[in-house]
Amino acid sequence: MSGFHTNSKVIGWVEQRLPIFSFLHHSAVEYPTPKNLNYWWNFGSLAGFQLVVMILSGIFLAANYTAHTSLAFDSVERIMRDVNYGWFMRYLHANGASMFFLLVYTHMLRGLYYGSYKAPRELLWWLGVVIYLCMMGTAFMGYVLPWGQMSFWGATVITNLFSAFPVVGKFIVTWLWGGFAVDNPTLNRFYAFHYLLPFVIYALMVVHLWALHTVKSNNPLGIDVKTPQDTIPFHPYFTIKDLFGIGVFLMIYMAFVFWAPNFFGEPDNYIKANPMVTPPHIVPEWYFLPFYAILRAFTMDLWIIPAKLQGVVAMFSAIIVLLFLPWLDTSKVRSAAFRPIYKQLFWVFVADCVVLGYCGGKPPEGNLVMIGQLATAYYFLHFLVILPIVGKIEKTRPLPASISSAVLKPMEKA
């Protein structure tokens, strides 16, 4: 914390007692950042920005929302109609969830492409996976709050998944519901946790950044920073680059908020929840569709393991497998830029996720069942078989000596 000096008596007084200014200087001004970061590195700060947008808009919504089965739907409509700029807050929040996932998925794929999960960044990656899990929980519970048809039936389907576990399943479901069906106690606890989890995510984000600032950022070349010539200070270089990124992101985000606010939504959720009427297709929000496809890929009971249990276990495994990724990928080279085979496989994996998402959004009929099953098989094959083998047999391209030496030559495009 050497770079911080002040002539102000007040700041000096505070600094002696709580070194907050030198801390900020150290982590937001001096922080040495690889100078070759491309725009894919913007998505981390964008996700952080979006978390703040979600928390702020969420607090304003919470101030006007009523968590009761008979009032929730109308309280949301009151926000839309009678609360000043309530429609703006709600559309910010509802579209913001989709944007948040879009940013985080891009951030994760960036990590996958450039090998950002590899040593020494395993814990950084783990913290990210935990943040992602918390996001999924938060988003799921948030979607229940407007108490529309898809809210209610989504909650019913997803909570019922736990009934797949033998013996205890039934009790877990009753415990989750706080009763014998999705009802007022369920809505109340979902609201409580929907308000709590974003702050847990915020705390995790701080630890994520702590880990990041300890091991420092990866970069498109995937090689370690070797000399001070490889880095530039975070401020002003990345503060301005991140601000520019936020500007571009806001333009895309606001286009949805103002001109297509229900693009990501389901029309059915503008029908008040009715336990007596099941919608023809119950679909989760788009960001859960690949996992929904994995859940439904298992259609055959095996011995004593019913198909539903297989699906549930597979769905959770699809996320848990990410925790093992730093060791499943056996290649010592981080960046796909120097891994000719992995580079192709990465895009195959992305395509596989898109196919899964497509299958998850359609009714499981005809060829889609088989396609969903093959895509599910490939998802696990990618992590459990292909990555360990490719890392061993792949002939990687020679790595540049340092970031600055590579920057002087024409750079490998992502």
Partner 1 sequence: MRKLILTVLAALSVAGVSQTALAHEGPALQKPGFSFEGVFGHYDQAALKRGFQVFHEVCSNCHGMRLVAYRNLKEIGLTEDEAKAVAAERQIQDGPNDEGAMFMRPGRLSDHYIPPFANDNAARANNNGALPPDLSLIAKAREGGPNYVYSLLLGFDEAAPEGHTVPDGMFYNAYFPGGNIGMPPQIMDDLVTYADGTKATKEQLAHDVVSLLNWAAEPELDARKTLGLHVMIFLTVLTALFYALKVQIWKDVH
Catalytic residue ranges:
213, 217, 241-242, 285
Would you say 55 or 250 has its CB closer to partner 1? 250
Which among 18, 44, 350, 398 has a CA at the least distance from the CA of 223?
398
In angstroms, what is the minimal distance from the CB of 37 to partner 1? 11
Torsion of CA 402, 403, 404, 406, to 10 degrees: 90
In angstroms, what is the minimal distance from the CB of 174 to partner 1? 30
* 109 neighbors 223 (Cβ within 8 angstroms): no
Label residues 231-263 b or e (16+ Cβ within 10 Å = b). Answer: bbbbeeebeebbeebbeebbeebeebbeeebee
* 217 neighbors 34 (Cβ within 8 angstroms): yes
Q: Is 248 in the site for partner 1 (CB under 8 A)?
A: yes
Q: Is 362 in the site for partner 1 (CB under 8 A)?
A: yes
Question: Which residue of 63, 181, 203, 240 would you call a contact of partner 1, by CB under 8 A?
Answer: 240
Q: What is the per-residue DSSP string for 121-185?
A: -HHHHHHHHHHHHHHHHHHHHHHHTT-BHHHHHHHHHHHHGGGGSTTTHHHHHHHHHTSSSS-HH
In angstroms, what is the minimal distance from the CB of 271 to partner 1? 5
Q: Is 40 in the site for partner 1 (CB under 8 A)?
A: yes
Relative to beta strand 231-233, strand 32-34 is antiparallel
In angstroms, what is the minimal distance from the CB of 308 to partner 1? 23
Would you say 72 or 164 has its CB closer to partner 1? 72
Question: Which residue of 228, 280, 366, 410 would you call a contact of partner 1, by CB under 8 A?
Answer: 280
Q: Is 255 in the site for partner 1 (CB under 8 A)?
A: yes
Tokens 């090689």 label which residue? 223
In angstroms, what is the minimal distance from the CB of 244 to partner 1? 4
Give the tokens for residue 133.
């899990």
Residues 6+ apart with CB under 8 A from 212: 124
Q: Is 267 in the site for partner 1 (CB under 8 A)?
A: yes
Task: Tell me which stretch binds partner 1 (CB under 8 A): 98-106, 161-169, 317-325, 329-337.
Answer: 98-106
Residue type, 350: V
Q: Is 358 in the site for partner 1 (CB under 8 A)?
A: yes
Kindly list the residues in this chain that would bind partner 1 in the complex (CB under 8 A): 35, 39-40, 74, 77, 80-81, 87-88, 91, 98, 102, 105-106, 232, 236-237, 240-241, 243-244, 247-248, 250-252, 254-255, 257-259, 261-264, 266-268, 270-271, 280-281, 283, 286, 289, 354, 357-358, 360-362, 407-408
